Amino acid sequence: MSDDARQRLALAQTSLLSALVAGTPVPEGFDRARIAVQSRALAAKRADVVAKVAPELPEILGDGYRPAFLAYAARNPMPASGYRRDALSFAEHVISAGIVPAPALRRLKAWWEERRGPVPAGGSHVKKHTSRVFIRMGGGLRSIAPQFFTNVR
C-alpha cells in the first residue's frame, strides 16, 4: 500500500473533523444538518468529560457551566494534551471573559491558581479525579478514561 492512500485518507478525515470541532467549512457533499448534530454531540460529550475530570468547575459555575463550556468549545478544539489541559484552558477562558459573578470568579481563580503549574511528581490535583472517568459517549464509545484523550500519562 502506498503512503498516498494514507495521505488522501488523512486529508479527508481531517477536513471532516476540523469542521466538527474547529468550525472550518463543512466539506463538500456532507449533510450540513448532520454535521451540526454530530458537532453538538462531540461538544456535549467533551463538556461531560471535563465535568468528570474537574468536578469543581460545574460545581462553581452551576447552571452556567454547560453554556459557558459549549461557547468555549466552539472556538477551541480539544487540546491534544488532554482533558486536564482542557479544563484549565476553559477556566482561563471564563476568567478572562469576565462572564461570572465575583464570588464564583474568586473560587474559579483559586481553583486555577492551584493547578496551573507544572504537574508535580505523583500527579496534579486534577489527576486525583482522573484515575477513572466513566461517562456515556454513545456511538459505541463507552466509558472513557482520561488517557483516551491525552498523551499525558
Partner 1 sequence: MDNSLGTGIGWRPEIAEAIESMPGIDWVEVVAENICPGHLPESLTRLLDRGITVVPHGVALGLGGADRPDPARLAALAERATALAAPLVTEHIAFVRAGGPLTGSPRLEAGHLLPVPRTRDALDVLCENVRIAQDALPVPLALENIAALLAWPPGYEELTEGAFLAELVERTGVRLLIDVANLHTNHVNRGEDPVTALDELPLEAIAYVHVAGGVERDGVWHDSHAHPVSQPVLDVLAELCARVSPPGVLLERDEDFPAPAALAAELAAIRGVLAAAPATAKEAHHVR
Question: What's the rounded Cα separation, in Å, for the pair 78 and 76?
Answer: 6
SS3 68: helix
Between vectors from CA 110 to CA 112 and to CA 91, what angle results, nearest 5°?
Answer: 35
- Dig out the grid coordinates for 33 from the structure: 444538518
SS3 122: coil
Count of residues binding partner 1 (CB under 8 A)? 53
Does residue 7 belong to the site contacting partner 1 (CB under 8 A)? yes
Binding mask 65-104 for partner 1 (x = CB under 8 A): ------------xxxx------------------------
Could you give the angle at which helices 83-97 and 65-75 cross, rounded to 10 degrees? 100
Smallest gap, in angstroms, from Cβ of residue 58 to partner 1? 16
Nearer to partner 1, 54 or 108 (CB): 54
Q: Kindly list the residues in this chain that would bind partner 1 in the complex (CB under 8 A).
A: 1, 5-14, 16-18, 20-22, 27-31, 34-35, 37-38, 41-42, 45-46, 49, 77-80, 131-145, 147-149
